[in-house]
Structure 1
Amino acid sequence: MSIRRVVPDLPAGDPAAAARFYTELLGFELVMDQGWVVTVASPANPTAQVTLVRPEGLQPELSIEVEDVDAVHAAAQERGEEIVYPLTDEPWGVRRFFVRDPAGHVVNVVSHR
């Protein structure tokens, strides 16, 4: 299993305003803006990212991009892990599912299509 990046998913009532903090103060670059979710990344290390999400329903606290999300999903099912959002192809180009870790954190496990 190959992990490509790990990104904190922070709640933000106004994701664009929160993104300005990271871009203007810390030098991150805007790499995704869906309105309700914004991701900023380091220009020197594009896998160093922060995602800012408008809280709506079930929200992950952490995203882990893996090489093969289907394999991780199958392993989670086999282990009896609590999958709280089904394996889904999202319109913005990712395939993902949410799983709850033993401490209760919701983790977004994702691959780009």
Structure 2
Amino acid sequence: MSLKKKPLKSKPICKVSFNLAKEQAKAAREVHLVGEFNDWEIGATPMRKQKDGSFSATLDLATGREYQYRYLIDGDIWISDPEADKYAFSPFGDCENSVVTV
């Protein structure tokens, strides 16, 4: 599963773990998580490469809203999350953004 959500009881925050499987990452050297939560800043959220070849990152996101995002592989290839909660039209290019609902 690529999205794991763990709401905090003490705050309106949810810990969201994003995981890009090895099959989607292919032979990536680096992957960045880019989206509304980091103002679409390309280098703001690098993902960690795991021993199995997948990449992961965990963010604290405010609950009660949706966030659009995509993965950027090696600074060149944009992909959507195949296990996103839903998808939204992107005005940039011929694609859809992934959406996580928290």
Q: What TM-score bracket applies, with the shorter chain setting the length?
A: under 0.3
Q: Which structure shows the bigger proportion of residues in helix conformation?
A: 1
Higher Rg: 1
